[in-house]
Amino acid sequence: MTLSPRHAAQAHILMPRLETPFHSRLAALSEVNDWYTWSGYKAPHSLADAELEYFAIRSTAALFDISPMVKYRIAGPDAERYLNRLTVRDVRKLGVSRVHYTAWCDDHGHVLDDGTLFRFGPDEFRLCCQERHLPWLLDSAYGFAVTIAEETEEIAGLALQGPTSYAVLSAAGFDVARLKPFDVVTLDRVTISRTGFTGDLGYELFVPRDEALPLWDRLWAAGEAHGIRAIGYGALNQARIEAGFIVANADFMTAETALRADRVRLPDEIGLDWLVDTEKPSFNGRAAILAARRNQSLKHILVGLEIEGNIPAEHAIVYHRGKHEAGIVTAGIWSPIAKRNIAIASLERPYGERFTDDLWVEIYALRELKYQKMMKRARIVPRPFVKLARRSATPPGLR
């Protein structure tokens, strides 16, 4: 069917959101019809009660649909060399059946995205991230013997997180007792990695699209005795803030989506300096990153804040001495487990670097149709805000 110019122009508005392979299970559980759009897919912000969903992460087991996460299969004789040129970490140090967190930059050293890199074999990888980068990845592959294919639609994914997540997998027949953090294994055609975005004990599972529902049902049946609950992004976001993890285009703007020149960030400006392997002879943005360090020209810094009171300070302005604008809170919550008002903030140097005391945040709380302005003291604290020993315990304890 050929659309008229007017209808063609409206097609992007009329096109419905895509549904993930697990949508039918999520829709059946949804009591609040609270959906948002994630990479073109319909995804739940919450399914029933966001507070109970959060406590499933921290007390039992939470099941979260990560199918919309963008996934690329990268393979070929030059796959390692290509990815080592592309990303800031040394891919040569990434063993087979292992995963690492990484980032990649443009030639100016500005972060294009962050994500996880899975190594399935000497020449076979999967790159998972927030944004779509296929044209850029293909352009960057010039001269390398690699094949790059997006497999977002073909591969379904679930995050199983929480203290009973190992018990659920064991009850479902998956032997992952020896799986250490950032290990990956394939069992019964299910790829399982000990990874997650909650700072808790957890796993991520990937299967071909047509095997998605049997996997969900297998985990759901096994999890009934272990308090399993499906969750939305609202609960996951609380947990990731407690863990001190950052989100692209929330805590920093990616170089391809930033509309203003001063919005882009170098790795050192968003707390990713530890990822950068300067021993590598060449990778995208290396010269610019090292020049910024050498010239002390870094303009921003990402910090953790603890704020007095219990009113979340998300998107609040941060001040020094109550009057000089120092930056903005990019994410903030009252942490139920830490019993603290915590936040991640992007500050303009020298604030957060030389000037670390006498910080304030300006919070506007809506009280019966009227905003109440509050100036609350803040202090810089280390991330993660919550650190759980069970996240790295091997083998995990059965609960």
pLDDT per residue, tens digit, the chain (399 aa), is: 444 545 544 555 555 889 999 999 999 999 999 999 999 999 999 999 999 999 999 999 999 999 999 999 999 999 999 999 999 999 999 999 999 999 999 999 999 999 999 999 999 999 999 999 999 999 999 999 999 999 999 999 999 999 999 999 999 999 999 999 999 999 999 999 999 999 999 999 999 999 999 999 999 999 999 999 999 999 999 999 999 999 999 999 999 999 999 999 999 999 999 999 999 989 999 999 999 999 999 999 999 999 999 999 999 999 999 999 999 999 999 999 999 999 999 999 999 999 999 999 999 998 899 999 999 999 999 999 999 999 999 999 776
Q: For residues 333 and 233, give the distance between their C-alpha atoms in angstroms, rounded to a whole number.
A: 14
Q: How far apart are the two ends of the chain, measured CA to CA in Å?
A: 56
Q: What local confidence, expressed as pLDDT, does residue 397 receive?
A: 77
- CATH class in words for 70-150: alpha beta
Is the domain defined by 261-381 classed in CATH 1.25.40.10?
no
Specify the pairing of strand 111-121 against strand 98-105. antiparallel
Give the 3-state secondary structure of residue 266. Answer: coil
Question: Taking the alpha carbons of 253, 259, 262, 264 in that order, is the dihedral positive or negative?
Answer: positive
Task: Take residue 65 and report the two structure tokens written for it.
Answer: 């649909």
| Residue 324 CB neighbour total at 10 angstroms | 13
Half-sphere exposure at residue 101, Cβ-oriented, CA atoms within 13 angstroms: 15
At the topology level, CATH places domain 17-69+153-242 in: Gyrase A; domain 2 (3.30.1360)
Per the CB < 8 A criterion, the answer to whether 48 and 55 are in contact is no
Q: What local confidence, expressed as pLDDT, does residue 51 receive?
A: 97
- C-alpha 108: how far from its chain's center? 23
Q: What local confidence, expressed as pLDDT, does residue 2 receive?
A: 47
Task: Take residue 213 and report the two structure tokens written for it.
Answer: 């529902």
- Ordered by start, the domain boundaries in the chain are 17-69+153-242, 70-150, 261-381
Q: What local confidence, expressed as pLDDT, does residue 14 receive?
A: 58
Per the CB < 8 A criterion, the answer to whether 292 and 201 are in contact is no
Q: What local confidence, expressed as pLDDT, does residue 279 receive?
A: 94
Q: What local confidence, expressed as pLDDT, does residue 8 receive?
A: 46
Q: What local confidence, expressed as pLDDT, does residue 398 receive?
A: 72
Q: For residues 124 and 294, give the distance between their C-alpha atoms in angstroms, rounded to a whole number.
A: 36
Question: Taking the alpha carbons of 36, 38, 39, 42 in that order, is the dihedral positive or negative?
Answer: negative
| Widest distance between CA atoms in the chain | 64
Give the 3-state secondary structure of residue 371. Answer: strand
